[in-house]
Amino acid sequence: MEISENKLINRIKKFEDKSSNVLRGIGDDGAVIKLSQGSYVLVQDAMVEHVHFKFSFVDPYNVGKKAVYVNISDTLSMGALPLYFLVTIGITPALTSKDITRLYSGMRQAAREFGAIMIGGDTTESKNDFFIDISMIGKLITRTYLGRDKAREGDLIAVTGPLGESAFGLSLFLEGRPIKGMSRFAKRYASPKPPYVVWKEIVKHDITRSMMDISDGLLIDLGRMMTESRKGAVIHLERLPIPPLLRKENKEILALSGGEDYQLLFTFPRSKLEKVQRIIARGHPISTIGEVIRGKGVKVLSRGNTYEAPVKGYEHFGDSR
């Protein structure tokens, strides 16, 4: 960084959208907002260079977009509409002020798609690892929050779109394959936009009990939901929305264990199946992939037989599952 902290903050201020409910935004010890009475969702999610991404694969603009998207994804999956967010960045010496401008530009673009407004945060140095950490507040619009702990026995399990796209996109970068004709996968990896339109349908029609976003892979995340709900799950490999190209290249496993799709995973009572089918008939991409059972763990069936996935998904730190 070749400019001072004061200058940087002045530059960042230009990316702040206005709202009459923001009494004080960027440039003070904290932001001040007016809130009505109600239930609010607070999320916080970070992306770290060398761990979550490399700048050689994803440019600062898309890193900014993705950092906002993953927080919007968490907010939506609890049943809330995003309102405001704060951003901390740890800037390494390798980054220029232009990189930072592109980063904030990406953040603003992603936030505007969902009506969220940046109101503050922190800028600091980091010696080796760039990081971006966003906290977001949203207002709950569902009757009760949509948690991981609300799945019930007999619920059907569904997802909001194709699985494995992001992991396949990452593999293109890792293998140095041409992106041409595959930009859909590269984009899902570099800036996974949450499935807002179908989320609104699900929420409007009061479909779901339990919901979460798929960040570490279907098997791990569904496993977490079942653990929190004290239930088990059975899913059917044939019903997973796997892009044809992944089947062709024998990479179906990415639909089970590939991370960062940021599709929504949810359960709903059988009594709502007709409603769900009507939503699907209107062109919304929902796939019913299995059901919640008594017991624990996630069982995958392929043509009725138990399928053992060779890789479960992505977890940070020592793997002692």
Q: Which positions from 36 through 55 interact with its own copies, judged by CB under 8 A?
A: 36-46, 48, 50-52
Could you please report the per-residue DSSP string of 146-195?
--TT---TT-EEEESS-SSHHHHHHHHHHHT---TT-HHHHHHHHS----
Nearest of 106, 114, 34 to residue 74 by alpha carbon: 114
Q: Taking CB under 8 A as the rule, does residue 213 contact its own copies?
A: yes
- What binding mask, one character per residue, do residues 12-31 give for its own copies by CB under 8 A, x or -? -----------xx--xxxxx
Q: Taking CB under 8 A as the rule, does residue 152 contact its own copies?
A: no
Total Cβ atoms within 10 A of residue 124: 11
Taking CB under 8 A as the criterion, which residues in 232-291 touch its own copies? Answer: none
Taking CB under 8 A as the criterion, which residues in 93-132 touch its own copies? Answer: 119-129, 131
* SS3 at position 67: helix
Q: Taking CB under 8 A as the rule, does residue 302 contact its own copies?
A: no
Q: Six-digit token pair at 71?
A: 């927080």
Q: Taking CB under 8 A as the rule, does residue 298 contact its own copies?
A: no
d(CA 19, CA 28): 17
The residue among 120 and 243 lying less far from its own copies, judged by its C-beta, is 120
One-letter amino acid at 92 equals T
What's the CA angle centered on 9, arms 87 and 187, to 5 degrees?
A: 45
- The residues, any chain, with a CB within 8 Å of residue 94's CB and separated by 6 or more, are 130
Least CB distance to its own copies at residue 305 (A): 28
Given 19, 135, 287, 288, the residue binding its own copies (CB under 8 A): 135
Least CB distance to its own copies at residue 247 (A): 30
Given 148, 188, 236, 272, the residue binding its own copies (CB under 8 A): 148
- What binding mask, one character per residue, do residues 76-95 give for its own copies by CB under 8 A, x or -? -xx-x---x-xxx-xx----
